[in-house]
Amino acid sequence: MTRHVVHHTLELIRFSHTLFALPFALAAVWIAAKGWPGTRLFLLILLAMITARTTAMAFNRLVDRRFDALNPRTQNRPSVDGRLSPRYMAGLALLGALAFLLCCAMINPLAIGLAPIALCIICGYSLMKRYTSFSHLVLGAALGLAPIGAQVAVAGTITLPFLLLGCGVTCWVAGFDILYALADVDFDRAHGLHSIPARLGVVRALVVARGLHVCTIGAFAGFGLLVHLQAAYFLGCAVIGAALVVEHLLIRPTDLSRLNAAFFTVNGWISIVFLLGSVLA
């Protein structure tokens, strides 16, 4: 594989965006294990996260090629402009899925038992915009699986607190995905794609996103109470709440020029703050 192909592949899967879900998984690992889980398990969890995300992104770019080619915002993606072929993307998705399954098999029986379901969810999002405006929640669930999967890996079980944390991540991701979808309202309506902004309009979509982010803070706080975390964690939740307020202040119905700042910068810091608060608690 040439250096250019590696570069295009990292651009295709948006490897830098791993920052969104990975810190929540690592925080859940730390809390479930009550500290360091051991090098072997940590590396398996890390590889499972990376390979699952690679599978999902390669599949997404493959099945969305037709729409991405028509959307001015996405016409320069490697999946569209010929830098990476459909065959390559299909192979990457398959390889990622096999590697993910292998990691899960090496973790524990529950992990491999649930792995096919996880793959269906993380890949299923790519098709949801064709059928339902609730596609944002499916994407949210795909990332919300990260802390739940972390507990499965560490403890071989799923408990209410980690389900609540997964719901919090789901609401957080669904909320900021609604904000990101504001840029494509006209395109989605013109091509029969479904989203909350396309269905409800910009103003009401913003209200829905705010409601989801209120639920996020409630779920994060509830998780901390249920697992008896210390003050550092709840301070982190307060910082996250303030960051979400800033995110929504950056976006106005008549001015979406700061959408990228709200999406990438603010949400990247939110995940890091959550990890730091969890480790220090």
User: Nearest CA to 14 among 97, 77, 85, 69?
Assistant: 77
| Phi/psi-derived region of residue 132, left when phi > 0, alpha when psi is between -120 and 50, beta in every other case | beta
* Overall average pLDDT of the 74-98 stretch: 94
254 three-state secondary structure: coil
Query: If pLDDT is split at 50, 70 and 90, which confidence band does 271 have?
Result: very high
Residue-wise pLDDT for 194-226, tens only, equals 999 999 999 999 999 999 999 999 999 999 999
Residue 267: the pLDDT is 85
Please give the model's pTM, rounded to 2 decimal places: 0.94
Query: If pLDDT is split at 50, 70 and 90, which confidence band does 15 have?
Result: low
Alpha-carbon span 175 to 70, nearest angstrom? 25
Are the C-beta atoms of residues 110 and 152 closer than 8 Å to each other?
yes
Residue 261: the pLDDT is 66
Domain ranges of the chain: 3-280
Across the chain, mean pLDDT equals 92
Least reliable range by pLDDT among 2-6, 152-156, 227-231, 272-276: 2-6
Cα–Cα–Cα angle for 4, 10, 13, rounded to 5 degrees: 135
Query: If pLDDT is split at 50, 70 and 90, which confidence band does 254 have?
Result: confident
Alpha-carbon span 250 to 256, nearest angstrom? 8
**What is the radius of gyration, based on Cα positions, of the chain?**
19
Query: If pLDDT is split at 50, 70 and 90, which confidence band does 1 have?
Result: low
* Overall average pLDDT of the 131-147 stretch: 95
* Overall average pLDDT of the 226-242 stretch: 97
Which CATH superfamily, name and number, covers 3-280? UbiA prenyltransferase (1.10.357.140)
